[in-house]
């Protein structure tokens, strides 16, 4: 390019110097050379653009290679998942066959029992009635694992949608004479759908963990009869002695200092459940037991929801629990998470310090009136409450779960650091070293001491339990439920 331009300059200079008659020939030559100069410039621009195109082609090729690699990884993952699903389906078919075999062998229709008491029901045939499966099998040798006849029923403690709970005394073995709470649940009902089976598994798992947790109910044995699954649990001062009953006996309310200590232990228990990725969903004074030393234990895991994996946004949608203690988000129906339990703890705190629930309604009205109060009304906090007490109740009963105390990322720690709990040594709380305000130097015996239950028989036999069932073999059912 530079050579052509130099040549043109030379020709122009020569033409000016000589001013000869050949100027007519120089002008066409100048035009030709100028044309070639433009062409060379265009070629240079094309070469530059060609380099850009080559760069783009290289990038496209790199992207294609990366895509191929990612597709291979994806196909490998899909093939692995297909294999896992195939294995699960094969295992489910085996489980279905085992369940059908078990139900065919052991769920025959039997005539109803006519006996009214335990002595008549517990006949000699009961020596081979049940095969025990201890939840804590390290506690006893296999030969010592219990059967139904190894427990003497003393009284019916309670009934619910998922079964009955009896006070029993162990007969024989290293724990002869020990009192337990025995919960019976109907096998047919539990096996009727996957939701009930999952609920049983969750409850049993939490009871097993309760042996290691300071404020949980522990499971000592589990076994089955022909018609019932039996869970042998901790017995808390008659199990009829819960926080509600204690409030009743002491005039309907605690002092603020007494409430603070009970709340501290309740918070520890709920925090433990949330670390296990479990929402209790039915926290209330009736489900908080009190032992002889006055320490509490959160009980009744029948409505607990356990999430399979830990991740932000874990949400449940079932509307369940006790209406007066249910958080607003449950009524709205858009899902709820762990923070709903802190609302229930806030209602419990109000009950302990005030003597009634914060959202009362006429029993003759339907539940929609209560729902409206919970969604829109503010709790009527007594004027004699101190500022820190008012702030605790108001923040635990925030309608918006994101603004509720305990609803942040720090969870229970937010509540523990509230001024209401100044002076509480949380290390002592977790070690059960608080001196609780009301130790029980008595046991609540007799159905009359257990309120709202009415009269009940003291037998927990079912018609299907009158003959032997699971002697000498592992239960097929337990493989599904445990």
Q: Which residues carry a binding-site annotation for ATP?
A: 183
Q: Which of 477, 481, 480 is nearest to 102 (CA)?
A: 477
Question: Distance of CA 39 to CAs 5, 51, 205, 306, Å?
Answer: 13, 19, 85, 78
Backbone φ and ψ of 219, nearest 5°: -105, 130
Residue 293 near residue 439, CB atoms below 8 Å: yes
Distinct helix (H) and strand (E) counts, the chain: 14, 10
Residue 153 near residue 166, CB atoms below 8 Å: yes
Question: Distance of CA 266 to CAs 117, 197, 236, 297, 429, Å?
Answer: 38, 28, 16, 8, 10
CA-to-CA distance for 363 and 302, rounded, in angstroms?
26
Cα-Cα-Cα-Cα torsion 426, 440, 181, 157, nearest 10 degrees, comes to -120
* 426, two tokens: 């949380």
Helix or strand or coil: residue 319?
Answer: coil
Q: Which of 241, 234, 184, 225 is nearest to 206 (CA)?
A: 234
Q: Cβ atoms within 10 A of the Cβ of 420, count?
A: 25
Residue 161 near residue 190, CB atoms below 8 Å: no
**Which segments are annotated as binding site?**
183
């Amino acid at each position: 390019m530079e050579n052509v331009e130099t040549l043109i300059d030379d020709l122009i200079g020569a033409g000016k110097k000589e001013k000869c008659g050949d100027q007519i020939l120089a002008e066409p030559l100048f035009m030709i050379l100028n044309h070639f100069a433009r062409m060379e410039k265009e070629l240079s621009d094309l070469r530059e653009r060609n380099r850009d195109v080559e760069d783009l082609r290289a990038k496209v090729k790199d992207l294609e290679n990366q895509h191929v690699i990612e597709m291979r990884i994806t196909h490998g993952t899909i093939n692995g998942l297909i294999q896992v699903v195939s294995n699960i389906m094969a295992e489910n078919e085996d489980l279905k066959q085992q369940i059908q075999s078990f139900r065919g062998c052991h769920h025959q229709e039997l005539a109803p029992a006519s006996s009214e008491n335990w002595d008549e029901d517990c006949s000699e045939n009961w020596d081979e009635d049940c095969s025990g499966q201890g939840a804590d099998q390290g506690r006893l040798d296999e030969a010592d694992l219990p059967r139904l006849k190894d427990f003497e029923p003393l009284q019916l403690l309670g009934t619910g949608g998922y079964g009955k709970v009896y006070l029993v005394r162990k007969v024989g073995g290293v724990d002869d004479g020990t009192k337990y709470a025995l919960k019976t649940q109907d096998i047919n009902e539990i096996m009727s759908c996957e939701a009930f089976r999952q609920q049983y598994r969750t409850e049993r798992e939490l009871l097993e963990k309760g042996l290691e947790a300071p404020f949980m109910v522990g499971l000592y044995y589990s076994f089955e009869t022909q018609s019932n699954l039996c869970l042998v649990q901790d017995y808390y001062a008659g199990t009829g002695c819960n926080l509600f009953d204690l409030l009743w006996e002491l005039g309907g309310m605690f002092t603020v200092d007494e409430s603070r200590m009970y709340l501290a232990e309740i918070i520890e228990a709920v925090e433990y459940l949330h670390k296990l990725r479990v929402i209790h969903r039915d926290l209330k004074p009736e489900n908080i037991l009190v032992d002889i030393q006055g320490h509490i234990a959160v009980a009744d895991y029948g409505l607990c929801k356990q999430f399979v994996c830990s991740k932000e946004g874990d949400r449940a949608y079932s509307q369940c629990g006790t209406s007066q203690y249910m958080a607003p988000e449950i009524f709205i129906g858009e899902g709820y998470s762990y923070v709903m339990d802190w609302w229930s703890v806030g209602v419990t705190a109000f009950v302990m310090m005030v003597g009634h629930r914060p959202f009362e309604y006429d029993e003759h009205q339907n539940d929609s009136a209560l729902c409206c109060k919970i969604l829109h009304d503010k709790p009527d906090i007594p004027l004699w409450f101190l500022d820190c007490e008012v702030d605790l109740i108001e923040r635990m009963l925030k309608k918006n779960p994101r603004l509720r105390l305990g609803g942040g990322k720090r969870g229970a720690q937010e509540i523990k650091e509230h001024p209401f709990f100044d002076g509480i040594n949380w290390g002592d709380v977790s070690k059960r070293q608080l001196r609780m305000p009301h130790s029980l130097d008595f046991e609540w015996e007799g159905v009359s001491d257990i309120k709202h239950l009415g009269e009940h028989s003291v037998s927990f036999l079912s018609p299907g339990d009158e003959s032997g069932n699971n002697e000498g073999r592992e239960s097929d059912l337990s493989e599904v439920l445990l």
